[in-house]
Structure 1
Amino acid sequence: MNVVAVQGLRGGTGASSVVAGLAEALSQAGEAVLCIDMDPRNLLRLHFNHAWEDTRGWARARQEGDAWHEPAFVLGSQLHFLPHGLLDATDHQQCDSRDDDPGIWQQRLAALEADAYRWVLIDVPAHAHDTQRQARRAADTWLVVAQADPACHALLEAHTVSVGEYLLINRLAARSALQGDLHALWQRQHGDWLVPLSIHRDEAMFEALAHKRGVVSHRPNSLASQDIHRLAAWLLAQHEASPS
């Protein structure tokens, strides 16, 4: 089992869209995937046509004393989606107090059947230090999603890179001179941890969300979909190259 955590360098970088597309691409490649939303806002469900009024999820299961993985939804023979679940403020505080162990997700994933999933994808909110710490313990690979803009450039200057961490550029506009300059600069400054491909800006990404689907299933021939498939292939190659 390979665990990949995906987090935006800041809010609004499109990390959840990348998670949803990557889950589809890996499952289409024949890989068994569990996709987990760690964000209490529950936005990842919008990419999987999951009813907004459905309060079920791993956090609510924990709140009600059920197994954390019980509310996972089957989206195909190779893809399961586990939403966060909707909690009110009081329930959220109680959930946080029970799950304050930094190794809790490492323990949870280790308890899954060894052959249940080849990949676990975790959507980590951009601003949640406790959740980030828990996901960091569990993840083999950490993808930081950034846009080539001045805000992300400033944040990267203060960013400390950890082992197994990679920088993924999303929504790269080929005709933007500013983005082109920043991309070239990041290749020089951060080339040792930069993913060797980018996700190009593509209206298909936004259309897919409007249709409550991932871009890979919504527009399989789109540029963004092709980029996501390349990202999946890169992760598969990384996984095969790593020691077992």
Structure 2
Amino acid sequence: MNRTDDISNLFSRFGASADSYLEFGSQFDYKEKPLALVPATPAPEPVVDIAKPVIKHCDTPLAEAATDRVPASSPVHASQSTAPLRHLLAEVARARQAEAQARNEEALRQALPHGRPAKTRAHVIALISAKGGVGKSTLASALATALRLEGGQTLAIDLDPQNALQHHLGAEPDVAGMGNASLNGENWKPLLLAGSAGSLLLPYGAMSEDERRTLERYLDNDRYWLAGQLANMGLGENDVVILDTPPGRTAYLDQALMVADQVLVVATADAACFVTLDQTERLLSERVAMGQAPLCSYVINQFDSARQFCRDMHEVFKRRLGSSLIGVVALDHAIGEALAYGQNPLLEAMSSPACQDMLLLSDTLKTQLKSMDVAESYAS
């Protein structure tokens, strides 16, 4: 018996015919799923807050939506709202210092005189330089010794905190000078010291760093500080004041330029000094713009004629400055040696070319002073 007979017998048993039977194959492989032994727990129904409406559609980005759900008055963590105690104490200290400084500045402004004092009758020559190491104090001491008008006195005032001019003029070192006198409101004239060769000197004086800063605050707040000090000295028209200033742009320099009749710029024959000429000329042009026009001259100091480069630089200076270059002082090591022994080199000027150059420079400045007197008499 084959498969066809089995199918015919099966259909005959149920009262049907096997003629309509059609067999076809299936290309699908049906697999039964395994029966789940534990029924799945139904998911909980969502709880809806009846106090808030249900939002069905939302176009706001998730980050913005999360931000909107945070109240504006939400508390901040304590670590973000409170700074360390040492920082808070430092802020209190800074505020207290600022308040004290403001009170001091106000007291200083109240103590300063108002208005420009009368100009001193003496001739004032300020020695300035844009850089240090040019021998400016040496020239100042030489002029204090050699430059003298008939019937008058020449005094040197040291405005440089280095306080070196006293050594050049052989004055007693470490004495109270113009710095402490200014802080104490004293007149300068009784404090003048006698130097070598009949010179007079008012040294800067020994000062602490705090005292120096206090003095310089006076200078910054009172542009006529030096003018007032010179006016109080009661100097005569034949007196000459030599001002030795620190190098560079300082409060002392501004004060000196405010009172100077003549300005002597000290330089050396090198590139470092030559490149500062523009800076010096701009500084002096500011005075011209303010209605002050002191006579400005230049001198080359410590000139070494044995070096070709120095001779070339001298020629460059002459072409740049013209008639404003009124002197050249030779390099002479005897000047430094005299300072070491506490001697005034001008007392033995015949043996030193540099001293001869200094005497010639003094005569040139004296001639300029007399010319200025004649011009003022014609103007009056």
TM-score normalised to structure 2 length = 0.59
Verify the 8 A CA contact 1:6 1:144 in the aligned structure 2.
Answer: yes
CA 1:157–1:167 in structure 2 vs 1: closer, same or farther (change >3 Å)?
same
Deviations 1:174-225 (A, max 9, x none): 1110010011111111114211x21111112111211223321254531111
Q: Distance in 2 between matches of 1:34 and 1:190?
A: 29
1:86 correspondence with 2:216:
no
Verify the 8 A CA contact 2:141 2:165 in the aligned structure 1.
Answer: yes
Structure scoring higher RCO (CA < 8 A, sep ≥ 6) equals 1
Q: Distance in 1 between matches of 2:132 and 2:272?
A: 11
Mean alpha-carbon deviation: is it higher for 136-145 or for 151-160?
151-160
Figure out how many residues of one structure are paired with residues of the other and give that number. Answer: 242
- 1:38 corresponds, among 159, 169, 183, to 159
Deviation at 1:75, TM superposition (A): 2.8
1:165 correspondence with 2:301:
no
Counterpart residue identity of residue 308, structure 2 = A
Q: Which runs of 5+ in 1 are unaligned?
A: none
Q: Which runs of 5+ in 2 are unaligned?
A: 1-121, 285-292
Two-structure CA RMSD over aligned residues (Å): 2.2
**Partner residue in 2 for 1:74:** 194
**Partner residue in 2 for 1:131:** 252
Verify the 8 A CA contact 1:14 1:170 in the aligned structure 2.
Answer: yes
Counterpart residue identity of residue 320, structure 2 = Q
Counterpart residue identity of residue 312, structure 2 = D
Deviation at 1:132, TM superposition (A): 0.6
**Partner residue in 1 for 2:168:** 47
Counterpart residue identity of residue 141, structure 2 = A
CA 1:225–1:28 in structure 2 vs 1: closer, same or farther (change >3 Å)?
farther
- 1:202 corresponds, among 332, 340, 352, to 332
Deviation at 1:128, TM superposition (A): 4.6
Larger radius of gyration: 2
Counterpart residue identity of residue 198, structure 1 = V
1:230 correspondence with 2:360:
yes
Mean alpha-carbon deviation: is it higher for 185-194 or for 59-68?
59-68
1:25 correspondence with 2:155:
no
Q: Distance in 2 between matches of 1:24 and 1:218?
A: 13
Q: Distance in 2 between matches of 1:114 and 1:159?
A: 29
Verify the 8 A CA contact 2:144 2:156 in the aligned structure 1.
Answer: yes
Counterpart residue identity of residue 155, structure 1 = T
Verify the 8 A CA contact 1:124 1:131 in the aligned structure 2.
Answer: yes
CA 1:207–1:116 in structure 2 vs 1: closer, same or farther (change >3 Å)?
farther
Verify the 8 A CA contact 1:32 1:78 in the aligned structure 2.
Answer: no
Q: Distance in 1 between matches of 2:303 and 2:259?
A: 29
Runs of 4+ in 1 over 3 A off after TM superposition: 27-31, 218-221
> Per residue, is there more strand in 1 or in 2?
1
CA 1:184–1:30 in structure 2 vs 1: closer, same or farther (change >3 Å)?
farther
CA 1:48–1:119 in structure 2 vs 1: closer, same or farther (change >3 Å)?
same
TM-score normalised to structure 1 length = 0.90
Q: Distance in 2 between matches of 1:158 and 1:67?
A: 34
